[in-house]
Amino acid sequence: MSNMLVLHLRATDVPGNIENLLVQGGRMQMVYASSVDGRIEACYLAAPGAGKPFELWRVAVPPGGLPSMAAHVPLLGWYEREMQDLSGVGVLDHPEPYALVIERGTDPAPFFAAMDDGHYPAPHVLPEVEGDDVQELDFGPIRADVFESGQFRFFYIGERILRYHPR
């Protein structure tokens, strides 16, 4: 993108920058992981508003991981989970701390060799649903498109769905 502003931020600066962006009418677009000189960065793409250039916020991932921004910007939730699955970046205090991309029972393999230390911070966790009458329907994985696949898990009693768990 030729019309883009690149900013280098600390992980602790991200929540404040997001808050300022939203107050000014801007929107977050996505976050992804990138490997730069053997270290992992989180790259947040922000759209400040009409007529303003996109902003790419490059954030060095601290050893403990990044704080989740999903509570402030729900759109970032799936991107954070994808980043965690594919690059091994730890995302702290995520509202949905389970894998999104990696198939259940599969060991994730980060794309970046720098993160391949055998430690993967997001084991597959199912939501707790209790009751003798609760049934589980695991549907998928299915191909939704040429590039997309999905898996859906329903916890239900009769026709009433108690919990829906997409993946």
Q: Which two tokens stand for residue 46?
A: 């922000």
29-40: average pLDDT: 87
Tell me the pLDDT tens digit for each residue of 73-126: 999 999 999 988 888 888 999 998 888 887 656 665 556 554 445 554 455 566
CATH of 4-115, one of 3.30.9.90, 3.40.190.10, 1.10.357.10, 3.30.460.80: 3.30.460.80
SS (H, E, C) 19-37: HHHHHCCCEEEEEEEEEEC
pLDDT, tens digit, for every residue of 99-108? 888 765 666 5
Q: What tokens appear for 92 in the block? A: 């702290």
- Give the mean pLDDT of 132-149: 72
List 60's β-bridge partners, or say none.
41
**DSSP secondary-structure letter at 123?**
-
pLDDT attached to residue 124: 55
Rounded to two decimals, what is the model's pTM?
0.66
**Position 144 confidence tier, pLDDT thresholds 50, 70, 90:** low
Please check whether residue 13 is in contact with residue 62, taking contact to mean a CB–CB distance below 8 angstroms.
no
* Per-domain residue ranges of the chain: 4-115, 135-166
